[in-house]
Amino acid sequence: MSVFLSEPLQTILVLIAGFFTGVLSGMFGVGGAVVSTPAIRALGATPIEAIGSTLPSIVPSAISGSLRYQREGLIHWRVVLWTALVGCSAAVGGALLADVVPGNGHLLMILTAVLLAFTAYRTGQSPKRPDPADAEEPDPHEDPDFAGVEAPELPARMEWWRLATIGLAAGLLSGLLGVGGGILMVPLFAGWVRLPIKEAVGCSLACVGILAVPGTITHALLGHIDWAFALPLCVAVIPGARVGAHLAIRSSERGLRLSVAIVLGTIAIVYAAGEVAALV
């Protein structure tokens, strides 16, 4: 896939994509590359460049958004530590595997779409905790209509092995597909670790910034990064992530969960259609 654009116009379009990448990152804790990867593919990057060139922008985006979540007390650093500790090593392995997987990068893009669809479904189907403001909602322990729904007061499950397992899967995904690993961490933190959705997003965002560092270095050494795309993305994601984090924090738990499912599901469909067409 290639396009013929002047260099200034291409840079402007990458900056626009970077801003929306930052918004998505800050709002949903997914690293944002689910927007920037297909965007720079459409602007002429090869599949492998689209994977590698998005990783550097994840770091400033994650830092910008995480600072906002931390100010609201929505980041659990035990979760971040264990997840990122294991995930960093796995990210290097994932980046090395990117050259081994057949299909010239197209199969990796299709796998990304499949994972996005899974994330959208899993997040949309997860049990919802009522907002604290919803004082009139029935007690799930007393109302038979709430049978099978996870009680909001159930404690989070932060065992080190559980967090390390999430880090292993997310790290491999970050290095292999360049999407930051958040598309797995958000639903796993919310469902398996039992964090409220805003805390799951905040912890995921902090983790993806750390996981992106070894993946970025490895892809750079392998020559997978086109800095004409990477640098404008790095600049534009910073204000975008602040805006996204602000919007997420002001949203209701239910509204944010539904937004995650709809946005990621839509991107998955567009993503898959474009790459299948490229293979055909």
Domain of residue 69, residue span: 7-279
pLDDT above 90: percentage of residues in the chain:
38
* Residue 101 placed within a domain: yes
* Residue 218 placed within a domain: yes
**pLDDT tens digits, residue range 139-172?**
545 444 444 444 455 789 999 999 999 999 888 8
Distance CA 169, CA 89 (A): 11
Domains held by the chain: number: 1
Contact (Cβ atoms closer than 8 angstroms) between residue 150 and residue 127: yes
Across the range 189-210, mean pLDDT stands at 92
Does the predicted model carry a pTM greater than 0.85?
no
Token pair for residue 243?
Answer: 């805006």
Say whether pLDDT at 256 is over 70.
yes
Distances (CA, A) of 148 to 132, 143, 167: 20, 11, 29
Say whether pLDDT at 254 is over 90.
no
Average pLDDT, the chain: 82
* Residue 1 placed within a domain: no
* Residue 35 placed within a domain: yes
Contact (Cβ atoms closer than 8 angstroms) between residue 45 and residue 229: yes
* Residue 16 placed within a domain: yes
Which of the pair, 239 or 94, is modelled with greater confidence? 239
